[in-house]
Amino acid sequence: MITHTDRRVTGKSWSSEVRLDGKTAIVTGANTGIGKETARDLAKRGARVILACRDMEKAELAVREIMRDTGVADVIPSQLDLADTKSICEFAEHIYNSESSLHFLINNAGIAFCPYSTTADGYEMQFGVNHLGHFFLTFLLLDLLKHSAPSRVINLSSMIHKMGRIHFEDMNSEMSYHPAQAYAQSKLANILFTRELAKKLEGTGVTVYAVNPGMVNSDAFRHLNNSIQTFMKAFSFLLRRPAEGAYTTLYCALTPDLKSGGYYSNCSQAECSRAASDDRTARILWMVSCQMLGIRWR
């Protein structure tokens, strides 16, 4: 039995004996942090795990580490740059050519609090990677997920979504940019995407979940200024380790009969912000995202 316990931050433990033999999972950003720990756990359970990463050298190192620690060999690195729709298309084409099924799409990768920059397609980097990149990836892989149903999509959000607002008048933050506000907008978008996607997938056997991993001690905060990084290091004992940050992702991957479209934190369904519960905003964001990406997804 694999047991996850973190009484410092959750006050509870969670365990699962679920095996995933014959199942296939994709974890984006799986070369480090929460993504790598998620991939490690899925591999231990017998899943075929594809590490979808921008940096192939780091991905290959992560694969070797996971294979060494778990004793399994079915862990594969694959190139994916979520800041480039061409790369996303190439990755999806590779998956369709190499995989006959896909049971878990874990949209884990993310960038946080970075200085202003844009993706290869001209989108503000945090919104472009954290939301649009995963939105487009899910769109491209949806037929395989439906073919493999029951299957699950898990989108990593953050408690910081509660600070967010969708700036429809300035989606690319060209008029005004603040790293924390842009990050909060992207994490709010993750939940709104989850909410709307779940409605559109009713009856297909594909379910969708948004996850708050908690405050995790990882390199996701590498863009913060030195004084804040020093403060976080001093109080790192209060932060979750990456393996603990993966608990709720794994809970949503493995627990039966969860509510699709829900927001989960500390291995249970949680309350999200009022903005994240707004169906009208979710519908508009869906349409705007499709327009920005040049796709038709009803």
What are the tokens at 30?
């799986």
> Is-contact 295 286, C-beta < 8 A?
no
Closest alpha carbon to 134 in 211, 191, 190, 195: 190
183 an active-site residue? yes
Which residue out of 96, 116, 183, 247 is catalytically annotated? 183
CA-based radius of gyration for the chain: 18
Closest alpha carbon to 251 in 286, 212, 216: 212
Report CA 173 to chain centroid distance, whole Å.
Answer: 22
Closest alpha carbon to 71 in 103, 46, 49, 39: 46
- Ramachandran assignment for 76, one of left (phi > 0), alpha (psi -120 to 50 degrees), beta (any other): beta
Question: What is d(CA 270, CA 111) in angstroms, rounded to the nearest whole number?
Answer: 24
What are the tokens at 36?
């790598």
Report CA 232 to chain centroid distance, whole Å.
Answer: 23
Half-sphere exposure of 138 (CA within 13 A, CB side): 33
Angle between helices 85-98 and 134-147 (to 10 degrees): 20
> Is-contact 200 220, C-beta < 8 A?
no
Q: Kindly list the distances between the CA atom of residue 1 and the CA atoms of 8, 196, 206, 252, 266, in Å, as whole numbers in the listed order.
A: 22, 35, 27, 17, 19
Catalytic residues: 183
